[in-house]
Structure 1
């Protein structure tokens, strides 16, 4: 027994497995199934970045060498949202409903079921080496460490992603995905946190918010908030198709023209165009893209998504695609526009830039909601 390797493996916590089993998985990740499967070197490190997902406990990158070959893989521990450290923020009466809507087993089912075989050409999921149920409502997924290719997120790449998401949504004859009602977001965080803040005096009284949100934007945000239930009802009446659920660029890795989508915990049935919201908001929320880019990118991905739907055999007009995209993106990004997490940390240049960016995205979306009515 190698004590140093045992110490590394112990960093996996509840996901730890025996070294001989780990060596066999490492051999698969290295691309070989032959040889003695000798684990020569092992490292386990947390994947950088904060984990905000209620159903993700932790992410580790496991690497080293096996049979003389380098390997790298990801270990993701999923859990019931009832074990989320912030569960105290959720009223006790709503917690069981939360666990039903945010089903922690969705990602496990996605990787162990037939979903991969229904993906359109050019779209893939990570290779999964092991899914192991753990005591309590936990499970560990050992999967491929997907590497990003050199392709930049330019218009061509956004267009390709929009097309593949449309092909994915429109593929007929696949098993119905789980429900994840948009109304849950409205009845929870939106209704109890974001809308009350918008309708209060805080936006005017907080100088940081007031600097980002001019009176016209604030008036339009408040008008949107007061009509949010009507917009939800309209969304619920649109055609519903399968969606990745969190198709931000951070979850879409490209290489040689193909796209590998990770993080399938939000896979669900959603209004047409839903996935385009995160596709566009992801890099804006991360600060890698300015909100002005939406003017060129939004019509581009809407057209490509509609083309993907049609190529998959599902005919839905571009106008309906655009409306579904704009409304769903606005519900998630306008109601929360003036409530970034960083607000609790006080004034800073980063907070001011964050609010400026979110305000710019909200302005675009509010205008688009009017234009598509």
Structure 2
């Protein structure tokens, strides 16, 4: 199951000795199975559970480990679909080593109280621009989040951004990244073509929900360079980069969260992590957008309090503008469901789109329109 990510029994025994902080372990048996996870990532090659038993001080003890292979995105199947003229440029503009560097650092010791991260027990950093991380499995409370949970997470993300100790590691990945790479790549090639296509706006999955937003979204698209320049000029702080609820595992026995998945760790405009916190689950159809403006207001207040907890004062108008600009670039414009439209058309050309699927996608499109509507509103109000 692990294939090239496997280790020898002796190496696995060393991992378990580190996990349990004992001198010696004897492996008795182990199995591997893929992690059930339906959110694709261009930087992740495999996620695997390794389970088994080992003998410690004469007694059998069960173990579970999480093994994750990360890679340069040229190893991703998605890379093969890039036009040749873009491949070389794209290969140099998507950093991939941040997660390896985070787990190899002392970040865990610097996180503010309430945030933890899994222990890295073994890191196999390879010359082919792949790396395999052997991490401790983390127990967590997977009950649905309520507003209190979001507010608690927002305050801790504010503390993360405000912490001087964490800030020293904000740029531990030396690979250059600039917002223009995102605008010229992701937005220019996967968002703007659909945005400027009349057929998109006539589509039954788009017209009822996004129709009244067309002029406003096109207006934003017409000023992308200025918006990107404003993004780059905003005050930057340490950011997780993908602080959606999926990557904040709630502690089962105390307040706080285990923060996972550091692939997009770097300095970003203050408040950047609020975007994925607020809309990450909407993007993957796990929650609705009905209460987004009210939830965002509560989380902005909590995030500001977290900054203040760490002794960092950021003017309210700066934080709100930073949130608005980040949200529009990374979530507002990309909320237009062009990939959903393409898949629906493909299915209609074949066996047809089932009524249940059509209803589910229509509802999802409506929620994504709620994200776009909120993003447009806060961008206008903070101008």
TM-score by length of 2: 0.88
For 2:284, the equivalent position in structure 1 comes to 286
- 1:100 and 1:192 map into 2 onto residues whose CA distance is 16
For 1:23, the equivalent position in structure 2 comes to 13
For 1:42, the equivalent position in structure 2 comes to 30
For 1:139, the equivalent position in structure 2 comes to 131
Q: 1:130, CA displacement in angstroms?
A: 0.2
* 1:218 lines up with 2:207 in the alignment: no
- 2:150 and 2:293 map into 1 onto residues whose CA distance is 13
Q: How does 1:159-308 map to 2 (within 5 A)?
A: 159-172=151-164, 174-177=168-171, 178=173, 179-214=176-211, 216-255=212-251, 256-308=254-306
- 1:187 and 1:356 map into 2 onto residues whose CA distance is 27
Work out whether residues 172 and 314 of structure 1, in 8 Å CA contact, stay in contact via their aligned partners in 2: no
Q: 1:50, CA displacement in angstroms?
A: 3.4
- 1:340 and 1:34 map into 2 onto residues whose CA distance is 55
Work out whether residues 27 and 66 of structure 1, in 8 Å CA contact, stay in contact via their aligned partners in 2: no
Q: 1:318, CA displacement in angstroms?
A: 2.0
Query: Which sections of structure 1, spanning at least 5 residues, go unmatched?
Result: 1-10
For 2:362, the equivalent position in structure 1 comes to 352
* 1:14 lines up with 2:4 in the alignment: yes
- CA deviations on 1:96-145 (whole Å, 9 max, x unpaired) are 44344322221111111232222111111111100012352211100012
- 1:132 and 1:180 map into 2 onto residues whose CA distance is 25
- 1:371 and 1:181 map into 2 onto residues whose CA distance is 26
For 2:379, the equivalent position in structure 1 comes to 369
Larger mean CA deviation between 72-81 and 173-182 belongs to 173-182
Q: 1:340, CA displacement in angstroms?
A: 5.0
Work out whether residues 200 and 341 of structure 2, in 8 Å CA contact, stay in contact via their aligned partners in 1: no
Root mean square deviation, CA, Å: 2.0
* 1:64 lines up with 2:52 in the alignment: yes
- 2:338 and 2:279 map into 1 onto residues whose CA distance is 14
- 2:38 and 2:126 map into 1 onto residues whose CA distance is 23
Larger mean CA deviation between 350-359 and 237-246 belongs to 350-359
Work out whether residues 50 and 67 of structure 2, in 8 Å CA contact, stay in contact via their aligned partners in 1: yes
Work out whether residues 206 and 337 of structure 2, in 8 Å CA contact, stay in contact via their aligned partners in 1: no
Q: 1:292, CA displacement in angstroms?
A: 1.4
- 1:240 and 1:69 map into 2 onto residues whose CA distance is 46
User: What is the number of residues matched between the two proteins?
Assistant: 360
TM-score by length of 1: 0.90
Q: 1:293, CA displacement in angstroms?
A: 1.9
Work out whether residues 47 and 68 of structure 2, in 8 Å CA contact, stay in contact via their aligned partners in 1: yes
- 1:78 and 1:277 map into 2 onto residues whose CA distance is 24
For 1:5, the equivalent position in structure 2 comes to none
Work out whether residues 116 and 125 of structure 1, in 8 Å CA contact, stay in contact via their aligned partners in 2: yes
Q: 1:71, CA displacement in angstroms?
A: 1.2
